[in-house]
Amino acid sequence: MDPNASELAKRLAEAGQSHLLQFWKELDPEEQSALTLDLQGMDFQEINGFFEKATETSGSSKREKMDARLEPVPREVLGSVTRDRESLKDWEEAGLLCISQSKVAVLLLAGGQGTRLGVSYPKGMYDVGLPSHKTLFQIQAERIFKLQQLAEQKHKIKCCLPWYIMTSGRTMQSTKDYFSRHSYFGLDKNNIIFFQQGMLPAMDYSGKIILENKGKLAMAPDGNGGLYRALRNQGIMDDMERRGVEFIHVYCVDNILVKVADPSFVGFCVKKGADCGAKVVEKTNPTEAVGVVCKVDGRYRVVEYSEITLATAEKRSADGRLMFNAGNVANHFFSFSFLRDVVHKYEPELQHHVAQKKIPYVGTEGQLIKPDKPNGIKMEKFVFDIFQFAKTFVVYEVLREDEFSPLKNAESQDAKDTPTTARHALMSLHHRWVLNAGGHFIDENGRQVPAIPSLKDGTDLPIKCEISPLVSYGGEGLEELVKGREFHATLMIDGNGVHELVKNGV
């Protein structure tokens, strides 16, 4: 087929994108058909519309800080693990009841590759170097397995926590193969549903789609907010409805401490009658570059650190806490009815955010050019962009050291969010679980290790201690294993019992 005489060429010309066929005659038949397939699946007028709206919005709002329009999260919509201790048990029981009735689903955003970690495979397959060498996917799968078990034991009824996993085009096959190779970590494979987020072409500043080689467009995932379009296009909402799902927990793959389908969070949201909820950690440093959940013009949204002035970021309440302190950790609750409205009604209203990028491209002579400064944009939507549509929105504050340690960067001096910081965060949490259950650690001299490690020089390493999620989901059920006992590191508690690993790994 000669596309120059075809319907496709006409569509490209109408959309001002004819340059995509400029190297057509230099492509072999296989490359020609691959390019044709890519181009046929695209609505160029829609993509041009996205570009116009996104660049217009980003241009107008770039410099305008929104301080005067901001209000912090009001106390009446806030639940807190430290400030509402008397309610935690009720919330947890309400959540476990919903789980036992198979009304809760888990939705994992797992589109990211481990590029910044120096690997080409999906981030969920990364091993941060725990004694067990479990990956993020395995840890999360085992938490789901254990939670089903806890709900079944409490309510004497068989239940199911379906797990919907959104991948990107680049990670779909390797993610599916990985789960299959590991027999779905003991979960029923019919309750693990993989689906793929959409892709959008990268564009130069004049709105032309960029070619990354002569026969291939530069494509990028459409952001984690592409979730809503993918849910509609791939029949996921129908699947949830068929299963009787009423509540959905959404989270990102990179948080090693994530409490998947956290019953306390789910129960809190359900008891408050919320259609949407955000789990947050307290932001304690005004300059921490984290988005905060707050109200803007009376509607909830996440405001990025760059959108407010330092003076506003530094404001404090009467109790000394930062006024805008609800740090967003990409951990959300949706009712099914709200999610359905978002997917069918509100998604088209969401604006794309613009990220300026250095995008390799093909020059007019067909040579690959790697720019040294940004030459184009990638457009994406964010999962939290839909908070503004919620009628009843709630916020649930948890302790960072218990629930949030993302894996984003490769190891380097003083780097944050690395495999080491993730590993230390999990071992530290498990150390606290042992102490809370009445166990103790002793050093090589037989002296009891202090319950709170001294941080005088900041170099103290956590006690090496790992507890399998199959033994304990959130620190429960450990007393009979550790109470009144003394342990040396490395301590492992798993399905085979309690054991200490000595230096040579035996």
Other beta carbons less than 10 A from residue 219's beta carbon? 20
Whole-model pTM: value is 0.93
Looking at residue 111, its pLDDT comes to 87
Other beta carbons less than 10 A from residue 157's beta carbon? 11
Average pLDDT estimate for 190-210: 96
- β-pairing, 70-71 with 292-296? antiparallel
Question: Three-state DSSP class for 43?
Answer: coil
Average pLDDT estimate for 276-294: 94
- Which residue, among 119, 123, 200, 118, has the nearest Cα to 165 in the 3D structure? 123
Looking at residue 3, its pLDDT comes to 57
Please tell me the least confidently modeled range out of 274-278, 331-335, 377-381.
377-381
Give me the sign of the Cα torsion angle 135, 419, 277, 477.
Answer: positive
Half-sphere exposure of 506 toward its Cβ, with a 13 Å CA cutoff? 2
Looking at residue 60, its pLDDT comes to 55
Q: Report pLDDT digits (tens) over 5-39.
A: 588 999 999 999 999 999 999 999 999 999 999 99
Confidence of residue 1 (pLDDT cuts 50, 70, 90): low
Confidence of residue 97 (pLDDT cuts 50, 70, 90): very high
Looking at residue 456, its pLDDT comes to 44
Q: Report pLDDT digits (tens) over 364-391.
A: 899 999 999 999 999 999 999 999 999 9
Q: In the predicted model, is pLDDT for residue 506 greater than 80?
A: no
Average pLDDT estimate for 90-106: 98
Look over the chain and give the mean of its residue pLDDT values, rounded to a whole number. 92
Quickly list H helices, 43-201. Answer: 44-61, 85-100, 136-155, 172-181
Looking at residue 453, its pLDDT comes to 56
- Which residue, among 101, 38, 139, 125, has the nearest Cα to 468 in the 3D structure? 139
Judged on CB neighbours under 10 Å (0-12, 13-18, 19+), 59 is: exposed
Average pLDDT estimate for 50-78: 82
Q: In the predicted model, is pLDDT for residue 499 greater than 80?
A: yes
Looking at residue 22, its pLDDT comes to 94
Question: Three-state DSSP class for 360?
Answer: coil
Q: In the predicted model, is pLDDT for residue 207 greater than 70?
A: yes
Return all residues near 456 (Cβ < 8 A) that are at least 6 apart: none
Which position has the token pair 């952001």?
Answer: 223
